[in-house]
Structure 1
C-alpha cells in the first residue's frame, strides 16, 4: 500500500482527538498518588507496567514485530514510553500540571531544531515565527521577570519530557504499513517496564497506598482507581490512538490536534485539583500553544518510500 492511500483524515482526526483527551488526564490522575506519598518513578512504573500487562496478549500475538523491528521497539520503549512519562511525572511532583504539560509541548520546537541542526533541513519562516512565539510564551508562563518563581528542577524535567516527546512523532511516522502500532506500543511498554523497574525498584512501592482512599475532585477514591486509569486509558488507549492518528494523518496534523491535550489537562487540573493559572500564565499558555502549533505544522513531512519497497515490506508481515 502506498503512503498516500494510508492517509485517512476523518478517522485520523477521531484518533487524534481521542489520544489528546486520554493523554490530557495523566498528570491529573497521577497527582493524587504523588500527593499520597508515592514517588514519581513508582507512579510511572505502575503506569507502564499496567499498560504492559493489559497489552501482553497483543505482544504475544505479534512477537515477530520485535524480531523484525528491534531498534524501533527499543527506541519506543526508551523515549516515548519511559522517558516522557518518567520526566513528566517527576516534573508534576514539583510544578503545576498545566505548566509541566505546556513545557513538554515545546517538543515540536525541538523537532524543528533537530531537523535544522542535525539533518540540515531548511525550515520555513513560519517555523522560525513559531519557535520565537513558543520561547516567548514559555517566558510568560514561567514569569521569568519575577526571578523564576517555579521550581527550576521541575522546569528542567519538563523540558526533558519535551525532548522525549519529540521522538514520539518522529518514531510514529517511521513505522511501515506492515507494522501494527498497537504491537509496537505493547513491546514498548514491556521495554519501559523493565527499564524503569531497574530504577523504581517496584518491590519498594508502598502498595498499601493503592488500597487507601485518595482525594480526586472532591471525592475520595481507592488508590488503585487512578493507577488503573493511568495504565488503561492514559497509556494503552492514548498511545494506540496517537500512533494511529499519525499514520492516518501525518506527524504535523496529528501533533496539531494533540494540543487539545493541553486544554484537557488545564481544565481537569482546575476542576479536580484546584490548580489555576494566573492571567499572565494564561497569556503565556496561549502564546506557547500558538507558537508550537505553527512550529508543528511547519515541520516538513518525511518523504514516502517507493511503492515497490512498501509492497516488499508488506510480504514480510506476520
Structure 2
C-alpha cells in the first residue's frame, strides 16, 4: 500500500514537473511576438510580473510574516530572480533566438561554482569542474564562435546578465535560506516557497514600475494582434498565457513538484525547459538552430546539470531555474532555474 502511494506520488510529481517545464518554456515564445509588435521588452516584463503579483496577493497575505522575518531574502529575490533575470532575458530574446538566450542563461550553475571557488575560496569537485568545461564548450557551439559570434553581441550579453542575476540569487539564498532567530529571539522556520515567490513578484513589480515606467506604454497594442510565424494571435491572449500559465501556473506546479520529488529529480526535469523552449521557438516562431547548435545545447544542459548537482546545496528552500528552475526546497525550489522564464 505504501509503495503504491509512493509510486503514485512520484508519478504525480513528475507530471507536475513536466507541466512546470512546459509552462516556463513557453514564456519566451509568447513574449517575443509582443515585443516584435511594438511593446518594449521592459513593458512586457512589467505586465507579466505585475499581473502575476496581483494574482498572488492572497498568498502574500497568508505569509505576511515573511516581511518581518526575511526582508533581505524577499528583496533579493525580487531584485535578482524576478526583476533582473526576467528583464535581461526578455531584452535578450528581442535580439537573439529564444533557445540561444535560455541556453546562455544555463551557465548560471557553472558561474556559481566560479563564485564558490574563486570568491569564497572553497574547493570544488572534479565532477563540478567537468560540468563547467562542458557548459562553456557547449555554449561555444551554441553561439558559433567559429563564425565570429553569429548572434547580436548585446543580446548575448543580456542573456549572460540573466545568468549573473541567477547567481546573485543563488548566493543570497546560501545566506538567507537557513533557520534562524527573529528579532524577538524565537526560532524562525525556513521560508515557505510560495510566500517567497509571491513577495518576490510584488518586490519585482515595484522595482520594474520605476524602471519600465509603464505609464508611457502604448496600451492600445494590447488590443491589437501579434504575429506568430505567419499566424495572427490577439495580443491579450499571449499576455494571458505569459501571466497565468508561464508565471502563476509554472511557479505553483514547480514548487509542488519539488515537494513530491527530490530536488535533484526535479532539477533534471527542469533542464527540459530549455529543450521545450527551443522546440516551441522552432515550431511557432520559425527560429531554427543548426545541428552544431543543437549538439552544443545538449552539452550545455549536461554540463549545467553536472555543475548544479556538484554545487554545495543551500539549505532547504523555491526557484528556478531554472535554472529555471531557474531552476530546488524553499531556496532549492526557487533556484532550480525557474526565475526567468
TM above 0.5, yes or no, is: yes
Q: Which residue of 2 aligns with 1:180?
A: 192
2:312 is aligned, of 291, 294, 300, to 300
* CA RMSD after TM alignment: 2.4
- CA distance in 2 between partners of 1:304 and 1:96 (Å): 34
Shift of the alpha carbon at 1:298?
A: 1.4
Unaligned runs of 5+ in 2: 1-8, 180-188, 318-341
Q: How far is the alpha carbon of 1:146 from its aligned partner?
A: 1.2
Q: Does 1:151 align with 2:163?
A: no
2:338 aligns to what? Answer: none
Moved more, 38-47 or 172-181: 172-181
CA distance in 2, matches of 1:165, 1:16: 20
CA offsets 1:31-88 (integer angstroms, 9 cap, x no match): 1101101111001101101101111122123222212111111111011111110000
Name which of 235, 241, 248 aligns with 2:247: 235
What's the CA shift for 1:107?
Answer: 1.0
DSSP-derived class of the 2:120 partner: coil
Q: How many residues align?
A: 298
TM-score scaled to structure 1, two decimals? 0.86
Corresponding residue for 1:3? none
Unaligned runs of 5+ in 1: 1-7, 306-318
Q: How does 1:106-117 map to 2 (within 5 A)?
A: 106-117=107-118
Q: Structure 2 matches for 1:6-45, cutoff 5 A?
A: 13-45=14-46
Query: Is this contact kept in 1: 2:190–2:316, CA < 8 A?
Result: no
Do the aligned partners of 1:135 and 1:288 also contact (CA within 8 Å) in 2? yes
Contact (CA 8 Å) 2:178, 2:316: kept in 1 or not?
A: no
Change over 3 Å in CA distance of 1:303–1:261 after alignment to 2: closer
1:277 counterpart = 2:289: yes
Contact 1:137 1:287 (8 Å CA) reproduced: yes
Distance 1:28 1:292, change over 3 A: same
Alignment of 1:94-113 (within 5 A): 94-113=95-114
Shift, 1:236, TM fit? 1.9
Higher RCO, Cα 8 Å, sep 6+: 1
State how 1:1-318 maps to structure 2 within 5 Å. Answer: 13-167=14-168, 171=173, 174=177, 179-216=191-228, 218-246=230-258, 252-302=264-314
Question: CA 1:217 to 1:264, structure 2 compared with 1: closer, same or farther past 3 Å?
Answer: same
